[in-house]
Structure formats: C-alpha cells, structure tokens
Chains A and B, each alone.
Chain A
Amino acid sequence: MTASAIIFYIISAFVLGAGLLAMTTRKIFRSAIWLLFSLIGVAALYFWLQVEFIAAVQIIVYVGGIVVLIIFSIFLTQQSGKEMPRQSLQRTIASVLAVLFGFGLTFLQIWKYNFQPTGKSFNWTVSKIGSQMLNTSTGGYALPFEVVSMLLLASMVGCIVIAMKAPLATNGTADQQLLKKLDGKPEEELGITQISEV
C-alpha cells in the first residue's frame, strides 16, 4: 500500500467517523461540530485529489457558510444546551437498517460498474473553470451561470425588501414618536448611525 492510499483511508475514516458521531451524539451543538469535521474531511479528500479550487469552495460554502448558519440557529433556539432524549430501540433499529440498505445499494452499484483507471492526468485550473462558466458555445455554462446569478440577485433584493423599515406612521413606539417630534429629521442626524462619529 502506498503512502497516498494510506492517507486516503485515514481521511475517509475521519469523514465517516465524524459523520457517525454527528448522528449519534445527543448534544445538538456537538452534532454540528462533528458535521463540521466531516465536511472538513471532505475538503481534505478534494485536496488529496488535487482539485484545490473545489476544496477551497467546499470550505467556504459548507464550513464557513452553512455550518456557521447552523450554529447560529442553534444559538437562537431555546434549551439547546440540554441533552436530547434517548431514541427508542425501534427507531434505532430502523435507522441502522436504513443505513445498511443504503450503503449496500451504493456499494453494489459502484462494485458492479467496475471503474477503470484511465491514466489521464486531470488538471483543471481556476481560469479554465472560469472560462467554461462564461462559455456561450456548446458545452458552455453561460446560461445556467446567468440564471443562478439572477436567482441570487432576486434573493438579495428580497432580503433588502424584508429588512427595510416600516414607515414611521404605522409604528407608534417611543423611539418613533421621538423621531416624529424632531420634525422628521432622518435618524442619521440624531447621531444614531452617523459614520463621522464612528
């Protein structure tokens, strides 16, 4: 067994072990942390495959984005520090069986397909990925790329609309009344958000 293979098995064991712990731990925050380790392990596998760009994106999107989001939502839930109740035996057996069948199905598919090493080296630089993204000829990804960017833009606009303040008249809290008293001066002039005071 070569050193490369040993590293592969170590990383895989790490990913699977962390995933298993994420499933079985009874503290929800620890579960999120184990998920984080599992995802970092996946990024390590990408590094091992020498597709660094995908690895970095994996870290940015999953570790820096999604896991942080999960942790934030855990922080905001009540009683998240307590241990969750133990699952009933019936549920445990059912989930173990589901996992086993799922694993058996996937394993069978891969084993039957009989992958052959091509021997071709595979070198996708970032600039190649970038030009493929903006490629308008056949096999290019310009259209999906633009559609996805429109989707992101739409969600951004939606966020801004949701976060925008309601007009002053509809809201009668003390602060708002104070603002009204001050002849409707914008709150910037009251030093609430003024950057020059920063």
Chain B
Amino acid sequence: MGWSLENISHFIDSWLYNEFDPTIARLIEFLIIAVCVIGLFAVLGLVLILMERKVSAWMQVRLGPNRVGPGGMFQTVADTLKLIVKEGMTPLNVDKFLFNLAPFIVMIVSMVVLAPLMFAKNFQIWDINIGILFITAVSSVSVIGILMAGWASNNKYSLLGAMRSGAQIVSYELSAGLSVLCIVVLTGSLRISDIINSQANGWWLFKGHIPVIIAFVIFIIAVTAETNRAPFDLAEAESELTAGFHTEYSGMKFALFFLAEYVNVFIVCAIGATIFLGGWMPLHIGNWNGFNHAMDYIPSFLWFFGKTFLLIFVIMWFRWTFPRLRIDQLLNLEWKYLLPISMFNLLLVTVIAILKWHF
C-alpha cells in the first residue's frame, strides 16, 4: 500500500468506523477536517505572503525579506506573532456586532468554498454533484462580509471601499462564471471529480482549441478582480481610501481579512487549475510513453499544488506589473470587453462541444 493521501484518508476512515459508532465517527471526521482546513489556512497564509513579498521584490529588482531565518523564510511567522500580540481595537461609534462578525463571515466563506476542491487523486472533503456551482454560489457570499465591514466601520473610506468592492465583485462574477461554464459545457458535468476525469487524455486548455484559451485568460482576469487584488484593488486603494473596507480593523481581525484575501487567491487558482489545467492529472503528451510514465511517478498532490502555485504566480505577476485601474476603466473592462467576449466565446465552445471538434 503506497503512502498516497488517498490511502491515508481511507485508512483513517475505515479505522474510525470500526472503532466507533457511525455518528461519533462522522463527528470525529468533521473535527479532523476542521483542524486540517485551519492548518492549511495558516500554512497558506504564511507561504503566500512570503511568496508575494519575494516575487514583488524580484520584479522590482529588490531583495525582499532576507533577515529573519535563511533567506527571510520566517519573516511572515514573525509578522503573524506581531499581529497576534497587537490589540484588536473596536472604535467607539461602530456597529459592534457587525464589526466583529464581518471578518469571520469572510473567513468562513473561504473555508466552505474549500469543500469540493480535489487536492490529490480521490482526496476531497465533499464530492458534491454540483461542485463547481457550489463554489460559484458560496463565493458570492464573501461580498456580504466586505459590505458588512465597510458599513459597520462607520467611516466614509470604508463605506466607499465596500461599495466599490461590491460593484466589482458582482460584475466580475459574471465573466468568471461564463468562463467556468465553457468547461462545464465541454464536460457535461458540474462534479469536480468528473471534470478532472474528463482531462485524463489532456488538459482542457490544450484540448479545447482557442476558445478555451480565451476563456482561461478571461477567467484569470476576472478572478483577479474578484479577489480584490491589484490592478483591481479599488476596494482598498491605499492612495485614495487609506485601506478601504478594513481601514478601522486592527490586530487579529485585520489579520483575518488579510489571510482571507490570500486564501481566496489560492482557492480561485485551485479552481482554475482544476477546470483548465486538469487538477491532479499529470502532464501527458500524446504517444511519448516514457515521458508519460515518468510524469506518473510525481505524486498527484504535487501536481495539484504545482499548477495552483503557477497560477498564483501569474496573479502576483499581474499585481506587480500593472497600475491600478480607475473605477470607470474597471467597469468598462468588464461590461464592454470581458462580458461580451466571454458570451460570444461560450457560444463558440458550445458549437465545439456539439460538433465534437475538441480532442
């Protein structure tokens, strides 16, 4: 029995159900999953923030953090310790209940969206039959957390940031959804495992001709906007709105917003890697049997995380290349360019799917 994540999870599952009553076993499994997800969040936060700082430094011909630990490896650990120690202030005239609730809403939404993702071969929290729709649906709730934070702060910058963020997320969800639909049309299923299995003979990015490549590009642009990252970071535009919707937050509550931003980046990149780049499927090229066998030896979770981090790098690349858009440019880009193109593109993909032109 190999040491893949699939086998380990199976082993734990069967052991729990042998030892305990089914209800108790299920509860214990929930607990394990919760601990794993929280652990994953913490590690992702540390790794992604360090990665962002290093990538930004390299692109700006700087060095980046290099003092704490070898090559600055423990910089984010030190930052997190600082944030934990700091006082979590609640300003006087805020709506205290909503102010304290908002960061948790944003965080919980990110956690729930993680459920249908497949991290390795047959290693998934919940194989729900509407996986991709579930992700689209639940991720639309995160805008409520941002609106709540902006409103409850009782600060005009926060309110403006929240309004912008709301307008932005609601509009870019459309083109992101339409690009996801392209793959759903080609696959004929909303279930994540079906979408991945349909890419066993090649990733959709390669199988689907130019329309899928266009869909992929639109998806990446739209999710960059949806996660409120530069060049679409109008919701927190430092030079105009100090920090947008989280101006009044400090300490751990601020850290939750910050963490949720990076986890959301991970999640959208994981979705992109799953539907366009084949999830945990290794790279196979036609009839090169030797090459294909060598690729199969790389564990599936490495494939998944490798592709996800590649996309995360691309999104960071955007951030450190382009200047911030104005609100009218942002909405023009979505409503005049991305949306019509992705609608037309969906039509093309449907034609390809019906005529079976894809490989």
Contacts and interface: CB of A to CB of B under 8 A. Distances in A.
Interface of A: 3, 27, 29-30, 33, 36, 40, 52-53, 56-57, 59-60, 63-64, 67-68, 71-72, 75, 81, 125-127, 192-193, 195, 197-198
Interface residues of B, number: 38
B273 interface: no
Contact of A198 (B129, B148, B333): B333
19 contacts: A33-B148, A40-B141, A52-B128, A53-B130, A56-B134, A56-B137, A59-B137, A63-B137, A64-B137, A64-B143, A64-B173, A68-B166, A71-B144, A75-B163, A127-B189, A193-B332, A197-B329, A198-B325, A198-B329
Contacts of B337: 195
Contacts of B148: 33
A30 B332 CA distance: 33
Interface of B: 23, 95, 97-98, 128-130, 133-134, 136-138, 140-141, 143-144, 147-148, 151, 154, 159, 162-163, 166, 170, 173, 188-190, 231, 322, 325, 328-329, 332-333, 336-337
B159 A52 contact: no
Contacts of B154: 81
A72 B138 contact: no
A29 B97 CA distance: 12
Interface of A (DSSP majority class)? helix
A195 B106 CA distance: 32
Contacts of A64: 137, 140-141, 143, 170, 173
**Taking each of B159, B231, B328, B329, which has the highest tally of chain A beta carbons within 10 Å of its own beta carbon?**
B329
Contacts of A33: 98, 144, 148
**Taking each of A40, A53, A56, A72, which has the highest tally of chain B beta carbons within 10 Å of its own beta carbon?**
A56
B333 A72 contact: no
A119 to B, nearest CB: 22
B130 A60 contact: no
A52 B138 CA distance: 12
A59 B129 contact: no
B332 A126 contact: no
A195 B134 CA distance: 33
A126 B97 CA distance: 39
A63 B188 CA distance: 26
Contacts of B173: 64
A192 B327 CA distance: 12
Contacts of B163: 72, 75
A73 to B, nearest CB: 12
Given A30-B95, A68-B147, A126-B133, 4 more contacts: A27-B95, A29-B151, A30-B98, A40-B141
Contacts of A125: 129
Contact of B133 (A53, A71, A193): A53
Nearest to A52: B130
Contacts of A59: 137-138, 140-141
Contacts of A68: 140, 143-144, 147, 166, 170
Given A53-B130, A60-B136, A72 B23 contact: no
